Structure 1
């Protein structure tokens, strides 16, 4: 989450002691403890209310936002076996193919 290792934590504690001072450090440590406990209680209450509202029969895999990743959608679409498309009735074509560079013109379509 914060990606702080032991050495960095030690440096932060030492800086806090120098900046805050050893006299006020116990007071700030108590405040930090209260914030952590309040945050923990808030998280626990939130989890309980969500569980009470939704219940236990929720399929969380259906609510996974990673399933809407465009890369995954394309990868899944490309990995599906292709089924042959049904052939439509062929429309009668003109006897001469269209000349390159010009769009074909159909008098009946306009």
Structure 2
């Protein structure tokens, strides 16, 4: 620690023995050991406090990084939510927007014996019944027609 070898320690012990004498040397050695122990404990305490502070700083930096990434993720989610909301609003406006051209409404007609004969004649290929009424139930909407192409009235 202090880079003191055995010869230097022996020289210090001889000088202390001569200066202090054999009666006071053990007390002085205990006193010196006590101060060395206290200094070492203080040094360890300072070292531990410094390590705790460094660890706390590292935790604060990590927390700040996590907060920043969370804020970025939140901003991204808010942006995506706004896009979804805008898309839903556009879809809603499109659905609720009145059409410029009125749709053709097919009204059901009452079934009469003549209409039943016309439907039978249409199925058999007889073209003479083209001008007769066709029952509503026998009408077929093409598969590619939009769902709201036929509007039914009660």
The TM-score, its normalising length taken from structure 1, stands at 0.46
More helix by share: 2
Higher RCO structure, 1 or 2 (CA under 8 Å, sep 6+): 2
TM-score if structure 2 supplies the norm length?
A: 0.34
Based on CA coordinates, which of the two structures has the bigger radius of gyration?
Answer: 2
